[in-house]
Structure 1
Amino acid sequence: MINRLPKWVEIGGFFLALNAGVINAIALLGFKHQAVSHLTGTSTFLSLELANLQWNDALHLSFVMLSFVAGAALSGVMIGNTALQLGRNYSVALLFCVLMLLAAWYFLNHNSPYGHYFASAACGLQNAMTSTYSGAVVRTTHVSGIFTDLGVSLGLWLRGQVPDRRKVILYITLITGFLVGGIAGARGFMAFRFDAMLLPVWITSSIGLAYWLLVHRVRTGPDGTT
């Protein structure tokens, strides 16, 4: 599947992973150490709160998780379960991500938990969108699976088998993007608090615009005619 994807997937994947890294770093620093770009840690926190009978915190974490699922569901409505193809509604999906991140920025600056929910929904939408168009090869909001796949590739190499070079490059690209995003998010939060959420707003807007321009260029042709 990976070898049939266009070459610009690595570029888009890097910036989407960077975007998620920024959002998650801000979440970990500002949401009581609650991640929003994936649900593994959130599920564990929910289990702990339920075990300790902390119903209010458990309800809040449940809403964070449901928001992620709602964002993924929105991707399913707009894009469906289809292979990558220029012209599909990826730019529209990214626009919804921008709106959710703006809502998160607004509510977080007003100390409202709705900011957590909108940030989680934006990550759910982004992750579902990339999973859909890549056949579940590209996950841009968490790196556990990517590290696993990278480890499998290393194991194949140790067995004397040649791993798929493009897969390895993609895995390293996504991990690097997420790490760079985490650094940017942490530095941004320390300097600007929740106004740092405007960075992923700008990144997502830029990716959506770049995709729209690419589609427009392909549709009109190099001479500007349709």
Structure 2
Amino acid sequence: MFKHQGKKRTVQHNLRIAIVLSFVAGIVNVSGILAFNELTTNVTGHFALFIRDVADFKVWKGTIYFLYIFSFLFGSFSSNILIETFKENKKLNVFVIPTLIECVILSGVAIMSNTSQFNPELMVCLLLFAMGLQNSFVTKLSNAVVRTTHLTGLFTDLGIELSHLFFPKTHPNRKEIKSTIKLRLYIIAFFFLGGLSAGFFYSTLELKLNTLLLGVAILLLSLYYDDMRLKFIKVKRRQRRMRKYSNIIRKRARLNFYRKKP
């Protein structure tokens, strides 16, 4: 799901990565709300608050919301810079790099939350940077089919696609529309489940921001699963080629035997 790109990418690949990343985004979203009372997966609300403070001539106070917006933007920018820089390296899965950076950031926030060097504004900036990274690379990887850090665009697309089902003459590709609707519903459902899990771990189990380590574990397990699955597929293909080659050799040997036979 992290490896396949372009024409090689299928609906199933997008569905798998959407489930994983939307669940992680749900964890980050609720953890950020509970810890800082701030949005940590999107910047729409921060932009509104920034404009409010500027309109009230509280420019300095609004600067923090500008930093939140910039952090998300810089995360997206950095993710794509990394992808474009290393995409020519065929041996390297470039989408693993921003995923690992996201893991480091989430782990760092969890660790720093247990120390005296805890700065809430910096933590929010780091989480927004991580979500910018995630949203950028999954958008690039899925060719803008999957977005996982906020739901506004998802509900808009879902509403449009549901309405297309009522007009079969102008939108005859119902199978494709239904698969896209399924993808949107999975993203929404797992974003919700991620948030629900975060609420349980954060409040009920009192793990606080250590809840982010759950997201890190899911990302690392997904990378490991993806790598092992790819290796398994390569081994199966190699075995299939070897069997095919062995069959050809046996057939040729049999033909040579009958030709030599008087």
- Which TM-score band (shorter chain)? 0.7 to 0.9
1:43 aligned partner: 47
Determine the C-alpha separation between the residues in 1 that align with 2:152 and 2:197: 20
RMSD: 2.8
Alignment of 1:117 with 2:125, yes or no, is yes
Alignment of 1:89 with 2:94, yes or no, is yes
Deviation at 1:106, TM superposition (A): 2.7
State the one-letter code of the partner of 2:62: A
SS in structure 2 at match of 1:80:
helix
Determine the C-alpha separation between the residues in 2 that align with 1:150 and 1:3: 24
Deviation at 1:218, TM superposition (A): 4.4
2:257 aligned partner: none
Determine the C-alpha separation between the residues in 1 that align with 2:53 and 2:105: 27
2:253 aligned partner: none
Determine the C-alpha separation between the residues in 2 that align with 1:37 and 1:178: 11
Alignment of 1:159 with 2:167, yes or no, is yes
1:211 aligned partner: 226
CA gap 1:98/1:223 in 2 versus in 1, 3 angstroms: same
Question: 1:73-88 residue pairs with structure 2 within 5 A?
Answer: 73-80=77-84, 88=93
Determine the C-alpha separation between the residues in 1 that align with 2:186 and 2:162: 16
State the TM-score, normalized to the length of structure 1. Answer: 0.86
State the one-letter code of the partner of 1:213: M
Larger deviation: 13-22 or 106-115? 106-115
Q: Percent identity?
A: 21
Determine the C-alpha separation between the residues in 2 that align with 1:68 and 1:30: 18
1:142 aligned partner: 150
Alignment of 1:180 with 2:193, yes or no, is yes
Contact 1:22/1:200 (CA < 8 Å) preserved in 2?
Answer: yes
SS in structure 2 at match of 1:42:
helix
Where do 4+ consecutive residues of structure 1 move more than 6 Å? 1-4
Determine the C-alpha separation between the residues in 2 that align with 1:10 and 1:87: 23
Deviation at 1:211, TM superposition (A): 2.6
Contact 1:69/1:121 (CA < 8 Å) preserved in 2?
Answer: yes
SS in structure 2 at match of 1:79:
helix
Deviation at 1:171, TM superposition (A): 0.7
Q: What whole-Å deviation, never above 9, does each CA across 1:95-121 have from its counterpart, x for those lacking one?
A: 111011112223334431221111111
Contact 2:22/2:191 (CA < 8 Å) preserved in 1?
Answer: yes
Deviation at 1:69, TM superposition (A): 1.4
Q: What whole-Å deviation, never above 9, does each CA across 1:147-201 have from its counterpart, x for those lacking one?
A: 1111011111223445412111111111111111111112222122112121112
State the TM-score, normalized to the length of structure 2. Answer: 0.75
Determine the C-alpha separation between the residues in 2 that align with 1:92 and 1:217: 22
